[in-house]
Structures are given as C-alpha cells and as structure tokens.
Structure 1
Amino acid sequence: MIRVVVIDDEALVRSGFRFILEAVDDIRVVGATDGLGAVELIAATRPDVVLLDIRMPGRNGLDILAELNPRGGGPVVAMLTTFDTDSYIADALRKGASGYLVKDTDPEQLPHLVRSLASGGVVLSAEASRAVLHSGLGTVGDDRAKLQVSRLTARERDVLLLLAQGSSNTEIGAQLHLSGGTIKDHVSSILAKFEVATRVQAALVADRAGLLAHGRSER
C-alpha cells in the first residue's frame, strides 16, 4: 500500500486528490492539510509520497521541502503547481523534489504517477521540463551536459533515457531485461558521473544534452 499525504492550501484540491487516489486499491491518502500543518502531519503519518503545493500563503512549499529533506532519506516529494512554467519549480528540483504535477493532471494518470514516484520514478513532463531548463537549470544543447552524457556506457545511456522518461527501476529492468539490482547500480553510476544527487537532476542533464529530443524522434 502506497501511503500519500497531500499538502495544499485549497480544501477542494485536497479533497479532489483524495477522491481520485483512494479510488484505486493500492494507494491510501493518510493525511491532507495546508502548509501550516504540513511538517507535523508528515512526521506523524510517515507517508511514502508527499504531494506538496509549491505556492501557499503562510508557509511556502519550498520551505517545507527543505525541512522534509528528501535527499536525506525523507519521503519522496512531488510539487503541485497550477502552471507547468512555474518559476519555483527549478528551485524545488535543485532541493531534491522528484518532479512535479500540474493540478489539472488527468485523473486517470494520477495514480500511475504516484506509483512511479513511490518506486523511484521521475515525474517530469518533457514539455514542462524545457520551461524549467530555461528558467535557470541550463539550456538544451548545453556543451557540458553533452560531455557528461558522452562519458556513459551504452547501457547507462539506455538506462538514462528510460529514467528521464519517468520509468522506475523495475520498469527499466523489464524493458532492458535486467535485474532491479543491476539497474540500481547503473543509476548510481550515472549520478556519480553527472555529479548530481537525484534522478530528476540526471534527467535534466539528459534533456540539456538533447538526449530526450533524440529519443522522442526515434519513437
């Protein structure tokens, strides 16, 4: 069972996400509140995934993210935003968020995206990632990113492409016919070669290098 907490200042958004997610058998929303009660609720419920509004009155989502410290073993966090061009998204990804969701995400896709987050996947749409890149994380065609990608083995490149498309380790292993442990080792190697801490940051390096555009052109 995947345990989820929803943090948003709008009660309607909280209840809507709860209704959608609890319609499936393997996800439970164990708590929902606004920014002021977020850290205490998360500490009490110990969720696997936190859906965190990036802009809230009283308590900013970025400040809450820093306290949750997803890089230090805290829960997986995806930011919620109204627009996929939100200027705060780049900062959230730098601070360890595992992606972001626009609030009008297709209800049929939401449970799948939560499952992907819980299993280590990246939730970052190709279209919106370009807005993030151009807001401060680099530009597509970046020479340094191309050099970093060139240092990967052929298999690591395959793993990176699937990782950047949002696949979890299990999904990558199934597509490449490799064990989960082997995929985990490849991901660790990619992060070390890129000198980044999170899968999202690795995905952004891939996009800056033009790898995602190349991968999409082949499909």
Structure 2
Amino acid sequence: MIRVVVVDDEALVRSGFRLILNTADDIDVVATTTGAEAVDTVRREGPDVVLLDIRMPDVDGLTVLRRLRALPQPPVVAMLTTFDADEYILTALRSGAAGFLLKDTEPEQLAQLVRTLAAGGVVMSPKASRAVWQSHPGAAGVDDEQAARVGRLSEREKEVLLLVAEGLSNGEIGGRIHLSAGTVKDHVSAILTKLRVGSRVQAALLAQRAGLLDAGRRHPESGR
C-alpha cells in the first residue's frame, strides 16, 4: 500500500485528491494538511509520497520541501502547481523534488503518477519541462563542462537517461530495454556520478538543457 499525504492550502483540492486517489486499491491517502502542519503530519504518518502545493499563503511549498528533505527518512515529494511554467518549479526540482503534477491532471492518470513516484520514477512530462526552461532562458544553457559530462555517457547510459526523463522506474526501464532492474539501477548510479548530480530529476533536467531529450525524440528508436 502506497501511503500518501496531500499538502495544499485549499480544502477543496485536498478533498479532491483524497477522493480520487483512495479509489485505487494500492493507494491510501493517510492525511491531508496545510503547509503549516505539513512537517509534523509527515513525521507522524510516515508517508511514502507527499504531494505538496508549491504556492501556499501560510508557508510556501519550497520551505516545506526543504524541511521535508532534511528529515532522517524523507518521503518522495512532488510539487503541485496550477500551470506548467510556474517560476518556482525549477528551484523545487533543484532542491530535491521528484517532479511536479499539474492540479488539473486527469483523474485516471493521477494514481499511476503516484505509483511512478513511489517506485522511484520521475514525474515531469517533456512538454512541462520544456515550459520550465523556456520560461527561464537565463537558466537554460549548459556550460562546456556540463555538456561534456553528458557527452561522456555511453550509448546505453544515454538510452537509460532518456527513459528516466520519461518518468519510468528502474523496473519499467528494464522492461522497455530488456535489462534487469538491478542492472538499470547500476546504470542510473553511473549516470548520476558522471553527470555530478544528486537525483534522477536533476539528471533529466541536465539532459533536457543539453538537448539530449530533443535528440531522443528525433530518433525514437533509441528508446525502444
């Protein structure tokens, strides 16, 4: 059972997410709360996944994210936002968020996105990630050293990174390219080390900025 906490300042949003997610047999929304009570609630409930509103009047989502990431056993955190070019998304991703969900995500997709997060995947659609970078052109470039790190990845590692950026878990990547989940995990670890980043999201963002994702979409056979 995947334990979820929803953090949002609007009661209607909290109740809506609870209602939708609790229809799934493998997901239990154990609590919903405002930003002010978020950290205490997470400590008490020990969820696997936290869906966290990025903009709240009592305490902003970025502050809550930092506090959650500092916990001894931090949950997976995905940010909730109303539009895909939210100026705070980039900061949240760099601060350890495992992705972000739009609040108008189709109900039938929501449970699967939570499953992806719980399995260690990234929730960040290519369309949305492009919107983030296009909204912040000053942050979009990569320096020569960052580009060189991406270029030093093996072809298999690039293939795995493209699938990481699609939001797939290790098991799902393994099924796509016929590798064991353990082998995929080793590839992901090597990718993070070579790119000098600390998370799958940061690796996906660097790949996006370096143009690897666009190249992969032009040559879709790389993700077969």
Task: Give the structure-1-normalised TM-score.
Answer: 0.94
1:216 has 2:208 as partner: no
Following TM superposition, by how much is the alpha carbon of 1:5 offset from its aligned partner in structure 2, in angstroms?
0.3
Within 2, Cα distance between the matches of 1:175 and 1:214? 19
Structure 2 gaps, min length 5: none
Match of 2:118 in 1: 118
Match of 2:29 in 1: 29
Matches within 5 A, 1:171-182: 171-182=172-183
Within 2, Cα distance between the matches of 1:186 and 1:207? 18
Note the alpha carbon deviations across 1:137-178, whole angstroms, 9 max, x for none: 832676544322211111111110100111100100111111
- When residues 144 and 125 of structure 1 are mapped into structure 2, their CA distance, relative to the original with a 3 A threshold, is farther
1:62 has 2:65 as partner: no
Letter in 2 for 1:65: L
- SS at the partner of 1:109? helix
Matches within 5 A, 1:36-47: 36-47=36-47
Aligned residues: 219
Match of 1:82 in 2: 82
Within 2, Cα distance between the matches of 1:85 and 1:210? 19
Match of 1:168 in 2: 169
1:4–1:30 CA contact under 8 A, matched in 2? yes
Q: 60-69 or 147-156: which moved more?
A: 147-156
Letter in 2 for 1:64: V
Q: CA RMSD in A?
A: 1.7
Within 2, Cα distance between the matches of 1:18 and 1:157? 37
- SS at the partner of 1:105? coil
Task: Give the structure-2-normalised TM-score.
Answer: 0.92
- SS at the partner of 1:16? helix
Within 2, Cα distance between the matches of 1:60 and 1:49? 18
Letter in 1 for 2:197: V
Query: Percentage identity across aligned positions?
Result: 60
Match of 1:205 in 2: 206
